[in-house]
Amino acid sequence: MAATQIIRSEWTKIRSVASTVWTLSLVVVVTVALGMLISALTKHEFGNMPPRERLSFDPTLISFAGMTLGQLAMIVFGVLVVSNEYSTGMIRTSLAAVPRRGAFLASKVAVATALALAVGLVTSFAAFFLGQAMLGSPLRTSLDAPGVLRAVLGGGLYMALIAMFSMGVAAMLRSPMLSLGILMPFFFLISNVLANVSATKKIGQYLPDQAGSRIMQVVPRVGDDTPYGPWGGLGIMVLWVIAALAGGYALLRQRDA
């Protein structure tokens, strides 16, 4: 089967499954709505903030407060794209039609990543503009301020990388329940605990979400000693994604459908 046919097939699979469409819609709604709410609350409470917090106040990052929950929906999307075929048994038909497993996985990841990136960018820009509207003057910032455009574009990239990492893990584990059972608590709880406990902070800084989310930060926190910058953090996340996809491909080659 030609590459264009494989890609067209993967696109048909994704858009024909209602759960993936609803999941991507949830990414936008949750991220933007929560970002607006947190921005509005921040505006109301800014006068009561301690001086230390005011010095490191980052209006751009506040707009992305909803990314914490939005990324969970993106994780679900990434897992479902890969594992749905295993749970329904369609993987046998797919691999019979595309016996080159590298081409099969690469096409699936490419189509899903393009879709995740498009949704991520729309979400990131919408969250920024609506969040700034909630902050209002004089707290809000603008897209042409130093570092802001990088952060907004980086938010879209971050969401796409989250989806790719989830696809790699799902390709290794094959089970949607097992994949989500590991990824959800890891990103929502374990990663944050490791990054905020002094004994494990240096380890937590190099986890994919902790490192990748630095791309959305414009104003450094007071006393922040993270040994890398925004692009360095995104680079670390890319390495995690490559490792996950490489692991998924290696196991896909070795195992039966």
What's the pLDDT at 23? 92
Q: Distance between CA atoms of 164 and 81, rounded to whole angstroms?
A: 10
**Alpha carbons 227 and 232: distance in angstroms, whole number:** 9
Low-confidence residues of the chain: pLDDT under 70: 1-2, 89, 256-257
Rounded to 5 degrees, φ, ψ at 139 are -80, -30
Q: Write the CB contacts of 223 (distance below 8 Å, at least 6 apart in sequence).
A: none
pLDDT, position 2: 64
pLDDT of residue 151: 97
The domain segmentation of the chain, as residue ranges, is 3-184
pLDDT score for 6? 77
* b/e code 188-220 from CB counts within 10 Å (16+ = b): eeebbebbeeeeeeeebbbbbbbbbbbbbbbbe
Q: Phi then psi for 117, rounded to 5 degrees?
A: -65, -45
Closest C-alpha among 33, 7, 22, 11 to residue 74:
22
User: Residue 233: its pLDDT value, please?
Assistant: 96
- Give me the sign of the Cα torsion angle 106, 12, 176, 254: negative
d(CA 96, CA 90): 10
